[in-house]
Structure 1
Amino acid sequence: MSAMRGWPVLILTGAPGVGKTTVARLLADRADRAVHLESDRFFQFIRAGYIEPWKRESREQNRLVMRTVAETAAAFASAGFFTIIDGIVLPRWFFEPMRDSLRAAGLDVAFAVLRAPLELCMARAQEREDQPPGSRPVIEQLWTEFADLDSLEPHAIDVAAKTPDQVAELVLKTLRSGALDA
């Protein structure tokens, strides 16, 4: 892929285990200049006072982290990098504030939700070394959050029977068509 200058910031989201990080890496590797921002890593910057992001009392922390991700993405995108935000950007919590922050920086935004069956996501997520015990209810809840996107349904991409490379190509094709514009 040639330079991605002028492309929107891509918010790539979906349930744990759906393949966000793998696909984001593949997309970034196809560009001449790209930045792949894993929002999970931003949570790891908090060394003291960290609250698990799925807990109710983490709301302010989560907003701060997502605002920081958006500001970082805006800086890279403004410098001409194809910028991919990879993380759990829930439509009802974080999507609109993140999109609005990026738009306020004068940037176009695209939103893609990767989807796979719950059991596939669960199996992939539980293969990870860093997966805490007892995480199944959290994964199920997050998967449910992406099951009904309401007006954002056209942004869903079914990844169940596809390889990561096929998903990356489908995301690029859909991105180029403008169907993921947010």
Structure 2
Amino acid sequence: MSTLLVIAGPPGAGKSTVSSIASSRLSPSVLIRGDAFFRFLDRSAQKPWLPEAKDQNQTVIRASGAAAGQFAQGGYEAVFDGVMGPWFLPTFFEATGLNELHYAVLLPSVERCVQNVTIREGNRDDEPGTRYMHRQFEQARIDARHLVIEPSGTPEEVASGILSRYRQGAFAYGARDVT
């Protein structure tokens, strides 16, 4: 069985770029874009940051976790890219069916995240949501071993650092971590 590396963080943290690079350096690998699972929702979908979206979000998290787990169990080095806050991690982990996964959280400054989202989106419509999600990650109780605070260097260098820690087991998350 191969493993699952979750690269998480708020919008604009650089997850997608770093995840893509990391996945390209593993073999056989699969890159799972967590946001895609929210796009599967059709009619009556709620904005995921709204309180009334809790049940919807739990369903999406379980579905994405199950898919990620199947790829890892199928022999792939799976890299999951998503806004996977620690508040969702126990649900996601359980759905994977794995004994362990690896959880890395990119946490640049809020201003850097806002700038990245603005450049990517071409407008500031997502600034309030980006600030809100960044605050959620900052205030969450995340074990320091999972954090990559103010990632520096090129995306390639950040991916290299994450892969190095991943191979050392520094990001390991298992049943002992579920509270």
- The one-character-per-residue Cα deviations of 1:112-166 (angstroms, maximum 9, x if unpaired) are 0011111111000111238772x22221111112224435222101344321001
The Cα of 1:106 is off from its aligned counterpart by 3.5
Change (3 A) 1:75 1:169: same
Where do residues 77-96 of structure 1 align in structure 2 (5 Å cutoff)? Answer: 77-92=72-87, 94-96=88-90
Q: Structure 1's 74 and 130: CA in aligned 2 closer, same or farther, altered over 3 A?
A: farther
2:105 is aligned with 1:113:
yes
Query: 2:148 is aligned with what amino acid?
Result: I
Mark the runs of 5 or more structure 1 residues left unpaired by the alignment.
Answer: none
Give every structure 1 segment of 4 or more consecutive aligned residues whose post-TM-superposition deviation is greater than 4 Å.
none
> Within the alignment, does 1:98 sit opposite 2:59 as a pair?
no
Secondary structure in structure 1 of the residue aligned to 2:64:
helix
After superposition, the C-alpha distances for 1:48-92 in whole angstroms (9 at most, x for unaligned) are: 111110111111111111100001011111110011111111112
Tell me the equivalent position of 1:143: 134
The 1:148–1:57 alpha-carbon spacing in structure 2 relative to 1, beyond 3 Å, is: closer
Q: Distance in 2 between matches of 1:41 and 1:27?
A: 19
Q: Which residue of 1 aligns with 2:177?
A: none
Unaligned runs of 5+ in 2: 174-179
Report the Cα distance in structure 2 between the residues aligned to 1:26 and 1:118, rounded to whole angstroms.
23
Alignment of 1:48 with 2:77, yes or no, is: no
* 1:180 to 1:131, Cα distance in 2 relative to 1, 3 A: farther
Amino acid at match of 2:61: M
Alpha-carbon distance between aligned partners in 1 of 2:160 and 2:116, rounded to the nearest angstrom? 21
Query: What is the identity, as a one-letter code, of the residue corresponding to 2:138?
Result: A
2:18 maps to amino acid: V
Mapping of residues 133-172 of structure 1, within 5 Å:
133=125, 135-172=126-163
Change (3 A) 1:172 1:160: closer
Between the aligned partners of 1:33 and 1:130, the Cα distance in structure 2 is 35
Superposed CA RMSD: 1.7
Q: What's the secondary structure of 2:44's corresponding residue?
A: coil
Shift of 1:23: 0.7
SS at 1:51 equivalent: coil
Residues 151 and 158 of structure 2 are in contact (CA less than 8 Å); yes or no, is this contact kept in structure 1? no
Q: Which residue is 1:35 aligned to?
A: 30
1:11, CA displacement in angstroms? 1.3
Residue 27 of structure 1 deviates from its aligned partner by: 0.9
Partner of residue 125 from structure 1, selected from 93, 106, 117: 117
